[in-house]
Amino acid sequence: MTPTLRRLSVLVPSLVLGAAWAGLNALGSMPAGWGVADRLWAWAYMLTGPVFHIILGGGPVPDVVGLTVALGWLGLPAMAAHPLRPSVTTGILTALGAFFWFASGIVTMIMAVWGA
């Protein structure tokens, strides 16, 4: 395996799985009356992770959403761990960082759509 592929071997699958997870949530968890365009917008907002909280205005949120948003921001530098120094530990850190990034977008979307 080339050094570049080795460095991206955790990050790319983590991002693809996170985007797929957000897509499934956009398809299945949004209101039944929403059309395809609305669900695509919801998916796009979920992909932004904790930035979505800022898009909404950044006001006060429930503790669970606030904790998830904070972990999402911590996930951004964590995603760079494996590409910078490939090892099992940094691979786990990168995967967790991607998980928290996408989870913060999904939890914020749930709060925005269904209420807190």
What pLDDT, in 10s, does the model give residues 50-105?
999 998 888 888 899 999 999 999 999 999 999 999 999 999 999 999 999 999 99
Q: In this prediction, what percent of the chain has a pLDDT beyond 90?
A: 81
96 occurs within a structural domain: yes
85 occurs within a structural domain: yes
Using CA atoms, how far residue 73 sits from 46, 67, 102, in Å, is 14, 10, 10
What is the model's pTM? 0.91
Structure tokens at 29: 């968890």
The whole domain housing 98 covers 11-114
CA distance 96 to 75: 7
CA distance 42 to 44: 5
2 occurs within a structural domain: no
3 occurs within a structural domain: no
38 occurs within a structural domain: yes
108 occurs within a structural domain: yes
pLDDT of residue 116: 63
Structure tokens at 75: 């996930």
5 occurs within a structural domain: no
6 occurs within a structural domain: no
Count of domains forming the chain: 1
